[in-house]
Amino acid sequence: MVEHIVLFRWAEGTSREAYYPHPEHQRVLQNFVNPLRAEILALDYEL
């Protein structure tokens, strides 16, 4: 089993909101994340 953790810390919420629709982020989602989506747990919260 392969396990990975990806952690992002955003300076502000607007940075995060700008990143999600970015074409490079969408490419990574489509090519790497979506094929594994059934096995992914994603959390998004503010501290």
Higher pLDDT, 46 or 20: 20
Which pLDDT score is estimated for 6? 76
Q: What are phi and psi of 23, to 5 degrees?
A: -55, -40
- Determine contact, residues 36/28, Cβ cutoff 8 Å: no
Q: Work out how many domains the chain is built from and give that number.
A: 1
Asked if the model's pLDDT at residue 1 lies above 70, the reply is no
pTM: 0.57
Structural domain boundaries, residue 1 = 1-47
Which pLDDT score is estimated for 24? 93
Closest to 24 in 3D by CA, of 12, 33, 13? 33
Which pLDDT score is estimated for 15? 83
pLDDT in tens, 5-31: 777 788 887 888 888 899 998 998 899
Report, as an integer, the average pLDDT of 22-45. Answer: 83
Q: How far apart are CA 14 and CA 2, in angstroms?
A: 32
